[in-house]
Amino acid sequence: MGNSQTKEVIKYVEAPKPPPTPMFDKPWRTIDWGHNSGLLEELKEYKPEAEGVEHLRVLVYGPVGAGKSSLINSMNTALIGRMAIPAGVNNTQADEGSFTLQYKTHRIRKGRGSSRSYFPIVFNDIMGLESDQSVGVRTEDIKLAMMGHVKEGYKFNQLSPLSPSDKYYNPNPRPDDKVHVLVLLLSTNCPETNSPMIQKMKEIRQAARDLGIPQIAVGTHIDEICDQIEKDVKNVYMSKSLKKKSTGTILSGIRYIRCRIGVLSIR
Ligand X SMILES: Nc1nc2c(ncn2[C@@H]2O[C@H](COP(=O)(O)OP(=O)(O)OP(=O)(O)O)[C@@H](O)[C@H]2O)c(=O)[nH]1
Q: Which positions touch Mg ion (CB under 5 A)? A: 68-69, 99-100
Residue 192 contacts which entry, ligand X, Mg ion, none (Cβ below 5-8 A, type-dependent): none
Residue 221 contacts which entry, ligand X, Mg ion, none (Cβ below 5-8 A, type-dependent): ligand X
Nearer to ligand X, 234 or 260 (CB): 260
Q: Report the nearest approach of ligand X to the CB of residue 220 (Å).
A: 4
The CA angle 98-90-120, to the nearest 5 degrees, is: 85
Candidates 56, 69, 103, 139: give the one binding ligand X (CB under 6 A): 69
- Residue 58 φ/ψ, nearest 5 degrees: -110, 120
Nearer to ligand X, 69 or 124 (CB): 69
Query: Residue with the closest Cβ to ligand X?
Result: 128
Nearer to ligand X, 68 or 138 (CB): 68
Cβ atoms 134, 67 nearer than 8 A: no
Size of the chain in residues = 267
Q: In a 10 Å sphere around its CB, with 0-12 CB exposed, 13-18 middle and 19+ buried, how is residue 241 labelled?
A: middle
Nearer to Mg ion, 101 or 254 (CB): 101
Q: Rounded CA gap, 122 and 107, in Å? A: 5
144 by DSSP, 3-state: which?
A: helix
Q: Report the nearest approach of Mg ion to the CB of residue 118 (Å).
A: 21
Does position 89 interact with ligand X (CB under 6 A)? The reply is yes
Candidates 58, 59, 64, 108: give the one binding ligand X (CB under 6 A): 64
Does position 154 interact with ligand X (CB under 6 A)? The reply is no
Q: If we measure between CA atoms, which residue out of 250, 261, 254 comes closest to residue 237?
A: 254
Of residues 185-244, those binding ligand X (CB under 6 A): 220-221, 223-224
Residue 219 contacts which entry, ligand X, Mg ion, none (Cβ below 5-8 A, type-dependent): none
Cβ atoms 103, 156 nearer than 8 A: yes
Q: If we measure between CA atoms, which residue out of 218, 248, 243, 247 comes closest to residue 229?
A: 243
Cβ atoms 264, 69 nearer than 8 A: no
Candidates 110, 234, 255, 260: give the one binding ligand X (CB under 6 A): 260
Pair type for strands 215-220 and 181-187: parallel
The contact set with ligand X (CB under 6 A) reads 64-70, 89-91, 98-100, 128, 220-221, 223-224, 258-260
